[in-house]
Amino acid sequence: MTSLPSPAQRTRRRWPRGGRGWGDAPTAAAFLLPNLLGFLAFTLLPVLAVFGMSLVRWGLVDRPVYVGFSNFGQLLGMGYRGGRLVAHDPDFWRFLWNTLYLMGGIPIGIAISLLLALLLNQRLRGIVVFRTLFFLPTVCSAVAVALLWKWILEPEYGLLNFALMKLGAAHPPLWLASTHWAKPAFILMTLWATVGGYNCVLYLAGLQNVPAELYEAAEMDGANAWHKLRHVTWPLLSPTTFFIVTISIIAGFQGGFVAAFMMTDGGPAGATTTIMYYIYKQAFWWSQVGYGAAIAVVLFALVFTLTLLNWRLGKRVVFYE
Amino acid sequence: MSNRLLRALGYLLLCGIGVLMAAPLVWMISTSLKAPGEALSFPPRWLPTRTVEVTIGGEDHPLATATVGGRSLRVAVLGQTPQGARVRVLASGEERVVPRSQVTPLRRMHFEWANYARAWTALRPEIGFLGLLHNADGFLVFYLNSIFVVVTITFGQVFTSSLAAFAFARLRFPGRDPIFLGYLGTLMVPGVVLMIPLFALFTRLRLTDTYWALILPGMFSAYGTFLLRQFFMTLPRDLEDAARMDGASPWRIYWSVILPLSKPALATLVTFTFLHYWNDFMWPLVVISDPGKKTLPLGLAQFQGPYVTEWSLLMAASVVVMVPVLLVFVAGQRYFIRGLVLSGLKA
């Protein structure tokens, strides 16, 4: 029995460096090719092509003209005009700031998600109802959510301003019509749409993995609820938090498209245009395909760098058992 | 004792947040059932109501209660004058002018179901849903398009991803690991980065404004392949070793051993894929302009154009788009959330 080589061992000799597995190349090709061809055509080729496209001036209908790195120069460069340092494309920096401003909602959202998970982690009657309710906005179409909130944020007849006036605000904000309040309005909407969603469920799963003995031991040492949260729950949840932060940052840089498209067209005066919406406008609205591709490359670089940084930082702050 | 207090507080907080989370959805449904003009009333009302009308001399007048001479009487409001409302007391038939503050219009609960019918039929694509429907109801066309596109993508993606994942997890071939690394490397690429080249590609192929453009890019997923490959790696090899000894082909092992064992992972991928493409907006927006080929989110966006201030209709259309997905989710939320936790990841 032991001396007989298994079929796996027998076939393994054909490709000594191939690792574990079996089968022949034609079989493998039959399994792999449908996906691989699609992957090459619709993922890998576009990833590589976007770099090339960022080096041309192209209106989609005309012939692309190679312009070197001038798209990037225009996008990121600055120059002296009238003795002052001015960006060649000030809009880009403003829209980058808008994007970062909107990402300011991320820590608030994470804190609320954790709070909701803590509340949902109790053994109470009807807890499933709450969990389902909190998750509902996540499965809603973003377009419908945007329409709903456009109505809620309506300055004169909307629900939000009605509530604020009930609470005593004499002149509630104009929200989407105000350059100051449009971004907070977007953050509010995003909080409603996301706090009970994936992040909350991930936290809930994390909480259910915290061993009960740790709490018992802490109680023996006289820890109160806050101590337990601060010194047991929070450190043990740090891998989850780290994952959520990483994903949220990546998503944050790509955020704001549907809301801007449906609710404000990026306005008023560009106050809600994010990088994502700027790319859409440049590439698909004004047909500046090369310039749009250049912004996309910069976005890619930003996401890539931040993810790497986050990863390095994460190694230091995440507590693993 | 303090533990019980904490629990009670927690429950209270839960209820408070629950109200805040539910309010927008309830508000949406309430607005969707309001008669024309009723949505724009201040202060807003949670329950859809409308004024009650009475016909006097062939004309409709709103019914109200008014305090006349210290008595509360039922009146018909005939008009407004600078001095107040001109009303006719229904019991006696006398007409008089009463200060406006003394007149309370009579309201009755009224659900304007016609909003849904209007929203459903408002847009009429000339040719819709694979060219099969002519001048059909707009949202019927959008629904059929969405179902067709998303079901095709989901089946296609799960099928091609599981085949490739099987190759990566179980078969041996030259270049396997470098290719898999290539897949992994693209997971972090933002979707919009792919969108511009893809749009150029589909334009060059003359496939914009076709179902191909909606479906093809979704059929092959690095993420799905990665998810399933990781799951297949955790499956014990004993079963397939036994099957292989009995002379089973790789295809047979994939179909009869691996797939049945992978139901939780497949269910997760199906749910994510379905939800993602059901709600997908930007790519369809970029490649589709023919109303007959639009999916639900695009249809809803188009609907906003002509009805931009008719909030009742807009909310009715939003409900039409949202509710079926919500019902499916509520029915299957246990499996959905379990799958989410199992995979520990999201798309």
Residue type, A46: P
Last residue of a domain, one of B85, B109, B133: B109
For residue A56, give every residue at least 6 positions away whose Cβ sits within 8 Å of its Cβ, in sequence order, or none: A64, A65, A66, A67, A289, A290
Q: Are residues B128 and B54 in the same domain?
A: no
Q: What total of structural domains would you count in chain B?
A: 2
Q: Cα-Cα-Cα-Cα dihedral of A190, A195, A199, A201, to 10°?
A: -140
Residue B238, domain member (yes or no):
yes
Give me the pLDDT at residue B287, please.
94
Q: Are residues B175 and B54 in the same domain?
A: no
Q: Are residues B55 and B152 in the same domain?
A: no
Give me the pLDDT at residue A227, please.
87
B14 vs A contacts (CB less than 8 Å): 119-120, 124, 130
> Which of B172, B237, B238, B333 would you mutate first to test chain A, the one with the most A CBs within 10 A?
B172
Residue B230, domain member (yes or no):
yes
Question: Tokens representing B279?
Answer: 């709600």
CA B258 to chain centroid = 34
Residue B215, domain member (yes or no):
yes
Q: How far apart are CA B10 and CA B4, in angstroms?
A: 10
Residues 119-138 in A contacting B (C-alpha not used; CB under 8 Å): 119-120, 122, 124, 130-137
Cβ distance of A143 and B14 shorter than 8 Å: no
Total-model pTM: 0.88
CATH code of the domain in which B146 resides: 1.10.3720.10
A296 vs B contacts (CB less than 8 Å): 190, 192-193, 195-196
Q: Are residues B101 and B146 in the same domain?
A: no
Residue A314 burial (10 A CB sphere; 0-12, 13-18, 19+): middle
CATH code of the domain in which B55 resides: 2.30.30.140
Count how many residues are written for chain A.
321
Q: How far apart are CA B6 and CA B19, in angstroms?
A: 20
Q: Are residues B284 and B232 in the same domain?
A: yes
SS3 B274: helix
Give me the pLDDT at residue A12, please.
43
Q: Are residues B170 and B234 in the same domain?
A: yes
Q: Are residues B275 and B131 in the same domain?
A: yes
Q: Which residue has the tokens 């898999």?
A: B180
Cβ distance of B322 and A140 shorter than 8 Å: yes
SS3 B126: coil
Give me the pLDDT at residue B155, please.
94
Count of alpha carbons within 13 angstroms of residue B170, beta-carbon side: 28
Residue B16, domain member (yes or no):
no
Give me the pLDDT at residue B277, please.
93
Q: Are residues B60 and B194 in the same domain?
A: no
Question: Tokens representing A10?
Answer: 């027998």
Question: Tokens representing B288?
Answer: 């589709």
Q: Which residue has the tokens 């936290």?
A: A203
Q: Are residues B169 and B278 in the same domain?
A: yes
Q: Are residues B88 and B223 in the same domain?
A: no
Question: Whole domain around residue B58: which residue ranges?
Answer: 49-109
Distances in Å between the Cα of A285 and the Cα atoms of A279, B129, B286 are: 9, 27, 9
Q: Are residues B190 and B148 in the same domain?
A: yes
CA A76 to chain centroid = 23
Q: Are residues B172 and B274 in the same domain?
A: yes
pLDDT along chain B (347 residues), means of 10: 76 92 93 85 83 82 83 85 85 84 83 88 85 86 94 95 93 88 87 92 92 93 89 86 86 91 86 89 94 93 87 92 85 73 52
pLDDT along chain A (321 residues), means of 10: 46 44 82 93 92 91 88 89 87 94 96 93 84 90 94 91 89 91 95 92 88 86 85 88 89 92 91 95 92 94 88 74 49
Selection from B235, B227, B297, B210 nearest residue B268 by Cα: B227
Residue B152, domain member (yes or no):
yes
Domains recognised in chain A with CATH numbers: 92-317 (1.10.3720.10)
pLDDT in tens, B14-32: 999 999 999 999 999 999 9
For residue A15, give every residue at least 6 positions away whose Cβ sits within 8 Å of its Cβ, in sequence order, or none: B172, B173, B174
